[in-house]
Amino acid sequence: MRELYIVLIKAHTGLGAAARCITRYPYTHIAVTADRSMTDFISFSRRYHSFPFEAGITHEYRYYYAFGRHRYFRAKIFRLPVSDAGYAAVMDYIAKCEADKDMLFNLFSMATMPIVGGFRIPHADNCMSFTAKCIELSGSVEMAKPYWRYSIRDIDGLLTEHLFFEGRILRGGAPDDGYMTPFEPIRYLSGMVRMIIGLTWRMINKKWTGND
């Protein structure tokens, strides 16, 4: 038997703060990890703090969630018992996503989740659908609806009996890995335009692949 950890995160970002004001729910990001030390998290999210539209599957670290004057971030962690077969299925899915450079961040589904409950776009994911897919592949819990319809709050409720920890986590060191690359307006806007055009094109064409 193996273990996977699902981590709900209250990140200190502007978008996170705005989402909390709207939803009245503390957690605005979610990731999966097999690392008991809680230092290496895997999610489908921004790759640079100042450029949210440059996003995809990525490894995240504690200092991505707490930076500047913040020394801690709040997290809620669930520990899932996973069979060897389930664990292998999750790791295989993660490896395929990491090898696939054409996947897009499903911003449209994330932005409209509170209204329409999520929707699929070919070859696109976000932190919620990616993590929910990992949960589904693990076989640890029974899921009553398609994985891409699970919000962070839904996953919180789904995994209640597997609660492992809730509280503050120290951010630790912050090596210069490029995540805090300074903001550039042109780069920010070009990233936004590319993402919107890419997602719109895939919504119109709806060409599904084996990884979708």
Is 29 within 8 Å of 11 (Cβ atoms)? yes
DSSP 148: G
Q: Can you give the pLDDT at residue 70?
A: 86
Q: Can you give the pLDDT at residue 22?
A: 66
Q: Can you give the pLDDT at residue 79?
A: 98
Q: Can you give the pLDDT at residue 28?
A: 92
2-10/72-82 β-pairing = antiparallel
| Local structure of 139: helix, strand or coil | coil
Q: 163 has which bridge partners?
A: 78
Q: Can you give the pLDDT at residue 126?
A: 96
Instruction: Single out the residue of 152, 149, 122 nearest to residue 31, CA to CA.
Output: 152
Q: Can you give the pLDDT at residue 16?
A: 59
Q: 45 has which bridge partners?
A: 56
Place of tokens 């210069």: 176
Q: Can you give the pLDDT at residue 207?
A: 67
Residues 143, 120: Cα–Cα separation, whole Å: 17
Residues 202, 189: Cα–Cα separation, whole Å: 20
185-205 and 107-116 helices, crossing angle to 10°:
70
pLDDT digit string (tens) for the chain, length 212 residues: 899 999 999 987 666 566 666 667 889 999 999 999 999 999 999 999 999 999 999 999 999 998 888 899 999 999 999 999 999 999 999 999 999 989 999 999 998 988 888 899 999 999 999 999 999 999 999 999 999 999 999 999 999 999 999 999 999 887 788 999 999 999 999 999 999 999 999 999 876 655 66
Structure tokens at 120: 């699929």
Residues 32, 8: Cα–Cα separation, whole Å: 9
